[in-house]
Amino acid sequence: MYKATKTVNIRSLFDLVRASVRRLRSWHIYVSLLVPLLFLAYDLLSGQLGVDPMRSIEKSLGVTAIYILILTLCITPFSLLTGINFIRFRRAFGLMSFFYIVLHFSTWLLLDMQLRWVEIVESLTRKPFIVFGMMGFLLLIPLAATSNNYSMKRLGKYWPKLHKLIYAAIILGGIHYLMMEKTLQNDAIITFIIIIVLISLRFFKIRKINWL
């Protein structure tokens, strides 16, 4: 009896969440995902970014980018499992992650390297973590460029194939994070494990949980 009531309550809670998610619009997602940038701007303006603000900005943008990319990968398994349909927001998450990667890359190019081209070429050819980051970034460019209805229509059955590149891009981003320091950092290891688990989920047939 108690179990039955509990199940009904959880189900009605999920119904409520599903109804709220149905009311969400893409622009709500775009605006919400700008919040980390607002926090970063606030920290910068209030002098809370420590002794090397440029480095803090670079790091913060990189971490935000990789976590939004991870959220993008979570959307399909989460929606299938819970019936809370976030799939129509995948584009917003993917594009916002790309937006943060562009800002991360621009910070490196303009503030860190200050457009010193010899040093830039040297980093791009000699520093393995930069090479991996750059490869991840390059793979994401065609995905961002084709994340629109027109390209979906034009590419037809090739569109989903092309967008599988997201898995390679996020693995490269994860390796880039792992290789950042001379010794492996816990947060980079945890991030990489999350990425591998999410990619492995693709090989399982996920079904909605009965009582949801």
Q: Which is nearer to ligand HEM, 84 or 198 (CB)?
A: 198
Q: Does 90 bind ligand HEM (CB under 6 A)?
A: no
CB 93 within 8 A of CB 72: yes
Q: Which is nearer to ligand HEM, 94 or 133 (CB)?
A: 133
| Residue selected from 86, 89, 137, 192 as contacting ligand HEM according to rule CB under 6 A | 137
How far is the C-alpha of 130 from the C-alpha of 109, rounded, in Å?
Answer: 12
Q: Which is nearer to ligand HEM, 84 or 173 (CB)?
A: 173
Q: Does 176 bind ligand HEM (CB under 6 A)?
A: yes
Q: Does 57 bind ligand HEM (CB under 6 A)?
A: no
| Residue selected from 84, 86, 93, 136 as contacting ligand HEM according to rule CB under 6 A | 136
How far is the C-alpha of 12 from the C-alpha of 16, rounded, in Å?
Answer: 6
Q: Which is nearer to ligand HEM, 79 or 107 (CB)?
A: 107
Q: Does 37 bind ligand HEM (CB under 6 A)?
A: no
| Residue selected from 86, 89, 99, 108 as contacting ligand HEM according to rule CB under 6 A | 108
Binding site for ligand HEM (CB under 6 A): 55, 58-59, 62-63, 65-66, 101, 104-105, 108, 112, 130, 133-134, 136-137, 169, 173, 176-177, 180
